[in-house]
Amino acid sequence: MATQAETLSRQETNRPDPRVFQPFLRLARLLSGVEPGRSPLPDGRPVNMAVGDPQQPAPPLLAETVARFPDGWSSYPPFRGTPSYQQATVGWLQRRYGLPAGFVEGERHVLPVPGSREGLFFGALAALSAGAAEGRDCVLLPAPGYHVYAGAAAAAGARPVFVPATRESGFLPDFGALDPAILARTAIAFVCAPSNPEGAAADLARWRALLALARRHGFVLAADECYADLYYGAPPAGALQAAAETGVLDNLLCFHSLSKRSNAAGLRCGFVAGEAGLVDRIDAFCRVGGAAVALPVLEAGAALWNDDAHAAANRAFYARLFERAEAILDGRFGWTKPDGGFFLWLEVGDDEATALRLWREAGIRTLPGSYMVADAGLRPNPAAGFLRAALVHDEATVVPTLERLVAVLDG
């Protein structure tokens, strides 16, 4: 077993190949030239469960609101958003996390971004530039995790430190177990909860510990909570709740988006909330790199953040799919219903071979878990043996597809 210092020095000399930041390109290569089998759908067309693209329609409120602001397209949008967008995001945060009024101030602590993706990318640049003077060049990442964390680290020339998120660690990375020498060099640490791919939520105790760790070692905690409104038990705690207990937002950035909450991934509307100085720094990068949100989109976004009814209906839609999945999978593949998100994370043995087989035999496209670890040198790959399947299609598609998946894997 390599020590953490050895692992870091290997990562210093052996930066990940940029191609491994692209799980879907790797999947395309794996399946290239392989004829898909007939799927169980009546027309036999392939079913794509590899991508987490919401398939349900966005609420009518979105298009109705955009249509009410035809004049908003001609001018450049304000980078900090509008008062109505700021109020709507803060209002949602207060309702969702029970935050005290005035703790998050829209003008100082919130920045609209097209999605959490853009926020995460610019957030990494902001934290690394802020930490450069102190020699902070490390980025902590969950492995497996969303590929943008590693891509942002690479784009900034930083050193990614991949921290396994395994069943044993509650499917979240244990940054507290890292060598203090690494923590002293850390600029930003990414945590996704509810997590993609595993659907694991962080409880308040975990957020408290993560925030305390970030403050003790002087790095930024980047809480990717874009699945915050898709949960199947009690609403998962948020990093802002831990911050509210301390009365300050220091060292914290939270990333939220309408992509999953409102089935509006194409709208490109989200926000970053956190420490004022860090938010200002992201704003400065966005003004150069360009990630403003158009005025009619901000108006539609405000309407959607203000409306919880459609989000509850959306949650009920996914909850129903997970109930059906629970009955069909019936304890196979080490799977139990996740806390949140919309992915199945199935333990299947050889994940690449299984993805290939499902495609060839049943036209079902899934993502090998090992492709979600961007450090090709990490041994063992903590996601090897797992398969990710997005539960985003309607019930009429999901049910026969999962039944077929089980039949192929049991066969």
Ligand X SMILES: Cc1ncc(COP(=O)(O)O)c(C=O)c1O
By C-beta, is 191 or 364 nearer to ligand X? 191
| DSSP state at residue 340 | B
User: What is the C-alpha to C-alpha distance for residues 67 and 23, in angstroms, rounded to an integer?
Assistant: 37
By C-beta, is 362 or 367 nearer to ligand X? 367
Tell me the per-residue interface mask from 154 to 173 with ligand X, x by CB under 6 A, - otherwise: --------------------
By C-beta, is 40 or 173 nearer to ligand X? 173
Amino acid at 54: P
Phi first, then psi: give them for residue 142, nearest 5 degrees. Answer: -75, 140
The least distance separating ligand X from the CB of residue 112, rounded to whole angstroms, comes to 12
Taking Cα atoms as reference points, which of 103, 135, 111, 125 lies closest to residue 218? 135
Is 262 a binding residue for ligand X by CB under 6 A? The answer is no
Is 265 a binding residue for ligand X by CB under 6 A? The answer is yes
Is 381 a binding residue for ligand X by CB under 6 A? The answer is no
By C-beta, is 158 or 226 nearer to ligand X? 226
Contact with ligand X (CB under 6 A) among 16, 52, 160, 199: 52
Is 36 a binding residue for ligand X by CB under 6 A? The answer is no
Strands (E), 24-137: 47-48, 110-113
Three-state SS for 224? strand
| Residue 192 β-bridge partners | 224
Is 271 a binding residue for ligand X by CB under 6 A? The answer is no
By C-beta, is 66 or 120 nearer to ligand X? 120
Does residue 161 contact residue 178 with C-beta atoms inside 8 Å? yes
The least distance separating ligand X from the CB of residue 349, rounded to whole angstroms, comes to 25
Does residue 239 contact residue 255 with C-beta atoms inside 8 Å? no
Other Cβ atoms less than 10 A from the Cβ of 99: the count is 17
Contact with ligand X (CB under 6 A) among 65, 89, 257, 370: 257
By C-beta, is 36 or 151 nearer to ligand X? 151
Is 354 a binding residue for ligand X by CB under 6 A? The answer is no
Taking Cα atoms as reference points, which of 65, 63, 99, 95 lies closest to residue 82? 65
Interface with ligand X in residues 82-141 (CB under 6 A): 115-117
Radius of gyration of the chain (CA): 21
Is 21 a binding residue for ligand X by CB under 6 A? The answer is no
The least distance separating ligand X from the CB of residue 266, rounded to whole angstroms, comes to 9
By C-beta, is 118 or 275 nearer to ligand X? 118
Tell me the per-residue interface mask from 182 to 201 with ligand X, x by CB under 6 A, - otherwise: ----------x---x-----
User: What is the C-alpha to C-alpha distance for residues 117 and 123, in angstroms, rounded to an integer?
Assistant: 10
The least distance separating ligand X from the CB of residue 227, rounded to whole angstroms, comes to 7
Is 236 a binding residue for ligand X by CB under 6 A? The answer is no
| Residue 246 β-bridge partners | none
Both tokens of 191, joined, read 């945590």
User: What is the C-alpha to C-alpha distance for residues 274 and 88, in angstroms, rounded to an integer?
Assistant: 16
Contact with ligand X (CB under 6 A) among 37, 54, 59, 270: 270
By C-beta, is 206 or 404 nearer to ligand X? 206
Q: Which residue is nearest to ligand X (CB)?
A: 115
The least distance separating ligand X from the CB of residue 20, rounded to whole angstroms, comes to 17
Contact with ligand X (CB under 6 A) among 153, 191, 213, 226: 226
Element (H, E) at 161: strand 159-164
Taking Cα atoms as reference points, which of 134, 341, 343 lies closest to residue 231? 341
Is 261 a binding residue for ligand X by CB under 6 A? The answer is no
Q: Which residues contact 251 (CB under 8 A, 6 or more apart)?
A: 211, 214, 215, 218, 219, 220, 221, 275
DSSP letters for 102-169:
TSS-HHHHEEEESSHHHHHHHHHHHHHHHHGGGT--EEEEEES--HHHHHHHHHTT-EEEEEE--GGG
Residues in contact with ligand X, total (CB under 6 A)?
13
Q: Which residues bind ligand X (CB under 6 A)?
A: 52, 115-117, 146, 192, 196, 224, 226, 257, 259, 265, 270
